[in-house]
Amino acid sequence: MSGYVSGLLAVFAINTVIAYSVFIPASAGLLNLGAAGFVLVGGYTAGVLTSQFEFPLWFAVMLGSALAGVVAFLISWPILRTRGVYMVLATFAFAEVVAGVLLNIPALGGAAGLSVMAYAGLQTVLPVTLAVVVFVAWLMSTRFGLSVRAIHDDESVAHLFGVNLRATQVTALTIGGAIGGMGGALLVHQFNFIDVQSTGVLFSIYVLLYVLMGGTQTVWGPIFGAAFFTLAPEALRTVSQFSPALKFLENGRYMVFGIAVVLLMMWRPQGVITRTMLERIRASLSLSPLDRSKRAGS
């Protein structure tokens, strides 16, 4: 496998992890525009531990994730006092506060960012990503997953059936923050660098789009969203290798990509991958060949 392909796959895997940090709160009806804040907390924490204190990479990643989870737990209480667009603004403000604090700490590099020597690579990033996917899939199959889906569909009905709204949403934000911190810890050790400018509001918007486009109803939605936003621009960048006639797609790849995003959101405003879609696929796969032929004939 070439270095370009392995690097691209590592970026896709890290984007998937960070997407799940927004997916879990979104599954509980909480739109989080502060993903960059948790990524910065986890990334800077892990980066300092490996570069200045020579901690093992795996231990630094776990500590960065844990600290981001603690921060998420602490801020969840005031954030949950807001609703709707005010909650989005509150999470955005949190990310900006984190960025402002890091910019004014010279020991962490300030505006120049933080450089580290330890390198993660695909051999580290991929197993961690698979573990996160399995964990989220398991989590959404538990009673907690049922609770967050109920809150997402209708808070009043969920409360009527005995779901503790505040405890469930605090847990969702805390777990999401911890996963975001883990993604940040992987990010800094994949690129050997992290700074506030490249992990700002645009970064948070992209991560939120991963989830909204992929869908918040199933655990497969964030994977689709991260894959689309990571791989599609790279695919458009190389299409002219197959035919010179496709050169216009390469030159205007950002415009083509933007149009594709708008069309997807118009076509599937609820997200590309939904529970209904998966149920239909499962039902189709469970049919016998004879039943399939009859359905095709009808």
Amino acid at 47: G
Average pLDDT, the chain: 90
**pLDDT for the residue 245:** 67
pLDDT digits (tens, 9 = 90+) for 63-83: 999 999 999 999 999 999 998
- Please check whether residue 184 is in contact with residue 194, taking contact to mean a CB–CB distance below 8 angstroms: yes
**pLDDT for the residue 262:** 85
Reduced to 3 states (helix: H, G, I; strand: E, B; else coil), residue 193 is strand
pLDDT digits (tens, 9 = 90+) for 44-64: 999 999 999 999 999 999 999
146 Cβ partners below 8 Å, 6+ apart? none
More confident site: 285 or 152: 152
Helices 57-79 and 35-51 pack at an angle, to 10 degrees, of: 150
Strand segments, DSSP code E, in the chain are 114-115, 193-194
Angstrom distance (rounded) from CA 74 to CA 195: 24
Q: State the pTM of this model.
A: 0.92
- Strand 193-194 versus strand 114-115 pairing type: antiparallel
pLDDT digits (tens, 9 = 90+) for 137-180: 999 999 999 999 999 889 999 998 899 999 999 999 999 999 99
**Burial letters for 18-53: b for 16+ Cβ neighbours within 10 Å, e otherwise?**
bbbbbbbbbbbbbbbbbbbbbbbbbbbbbbbbbbee
Number of helices (H), then strands (E), belonging to the chain: the values are 14, 2
Tokens of 192: 């050997």
**pLDDT for the residue 288:** 60
**pLDDT for the residue 146:** 93
User: Does residue 13 register a pLDDT over 70?
Assistant: yes
Structural domain spans, the chain: 3-217
Count Cβ atoms below 10 Å from residue 240 Cβ, excluding itself: 15
| DSSP class of 65 | H
3-state secondary structure 252-286: CHHHHHHHHHHHHHHHCCCCCCCHHHHHHHHHHHH
